[in-house]
Structure 1
Amino acid sequence: MEGIGAGNGASAATLDQWRQYSRLFQFYLDKTTPHATYRWIGTATLAFLFVLRIVYVQGFYIVTYGLGIYVLNLLIGFLSPLVDPEVDPTDGPMLPTKGSDEFKPFIRRLPEFKFWYAITKAFIISMLMTFFSMFDVPVFWPILLCYWIVLFALTMKRQIMHMIKYKYIPFSIGKQKYGGKKSSYSAGGSGGGSRAD
């Protein structure tokens, strides 16, 4: 009976330690949330290192192809609205289809942070896979590359046609930004204030 109790105690301690690491990881992950530019620079660096690794070892093209398909799938989720008017036109907020419709903000199916996190994890896992020869399946990589380019072009064409049909833009580039109240006092002007000597 003591062996069973000791096993449960060790398992509870391991579970407790795992929860502690999980909380610590989540704490540091939450600290990165407002720093989108730095997060994406880090992910771009990771992607560059992955490409260098693939070029250096001249292999793991199937891993790269799988990564490309996964990133394409994430990109579609990132560019799609939360509620697709084609699939379910009755539930939730609708995208405006006419100029007279009320403005509703674009809500992504896959938020930017989750998009970044999934892509970063995918690059880390793919990089780790390149250190195990069992994932180096011999393939003729130009065919995979051509197939991926055709798949990307067809998928993006369909997504762009969907954006045009329902008149939405998934990016905030060029959209008006509203800030707080600006002060009417200018530092360089002589503002008419009196000076006490």
Structure 2
Amino acid sequence: MIVAYSLGIYLLNLFLAFISPKFDPSLSSDEDMEDGSNLQSPLPTKNDQEFKPFVRRLPEFKFWHAATRAVTLAFACCWSEIFNLPVFWPVLVVYWLILVFLTMRKQIQAMIKYRYVPWDFGKTKYGAK
């Protein structure tokens, strides 16, 4: 169970990096953008700013590569007696669910605040009629 719990926390960390923008929009200000001294945020923070595409902190290929390696390693660890530790699994499951709820709530609030959606579902699609 400890292997599955560790895998769950690692995959949650990967997923949060996957849906997070590479540049933090809260760190950029108008003065920094005019000077050019700081990297510009790819996300518009005001209506008159130009839209720049969403750049992920963790690219999709690296996300899937790291997740596949983690699942393979966890599967291999399940066969070893070293990792067969007696734990009271309901406590770990409840703690993991609370961790997921709190971190995803924070991430979703940031998405709403800075108006970015990292997936294609629900985005406006333009095309020829």
In structure 1, runs of 5+ residues without a counterpart are 1-60, 183-197
Q: 1:78: Cα distance to partner?
A: 0.4
Alignment partner, residue 80 of structure 1: 20
Residue 114 of structure 1 pairs with residue 54 of structure 2: no
Q: Output aligned runs, 1:1-197, within 5 Å.
A: 61-86=1-26, 88-89=27-28, 90=32, 91-94=38-41, 95-177=43-125
Question: 1:56-93, CA deviations, whole angstroms, 9 ceiling, x for partnerless residues?
Answer: xxxxx10000000000100110010001123x324323
Partners of 2:120 and 2:3 lie apart in 1 by: 33
Q: Give the Cα–Cα distance (whole angstroms) in 1 for the partners of residues 124 and 39 of structure 2.
A: 25
Structural RMSD (CA): 1.6
The percentage of aligned residue pairs carrying the same residue is 52
Q: Which has the higher contact order (CA 8 A, sep 6+)?
A: 2
User: Which entry has the higher C-alpha Rg, 1 or 2?
Assistant: 1
Compute the displacement of 1:175 (Å). Answer: 2.8
Moved runs in structure 1, 4+ residues, more than 4 A?
176-179
Residues 25, 45 of structure 2: 8 Å contact kept: no
Bigger fraction of residues in helix: 1
Aligned mates of 1:174, 1:101 — CA distance in 2: 22
Give unpaired runs (5+ residues) of structure 2: 33-37
| Cα gap change, 1:165 to 1:176, in 2 (>3 Å) | closer
Q: Give the superposition deviation at 1:99.
A: 2.6
Give the deviation of 1:176 after TM superposition. Answer: 4.3
Separation in structure 2 between the aligned mates of residue 77 and residue 122 of structure 1, nearest angstrom: 15
Contact 1:93 1:104 in 2 (8 A): no
Superposed displacement of residue 101, structure 1: 1.8
State the TM-score, normalized to the length of structure 2.
0.85
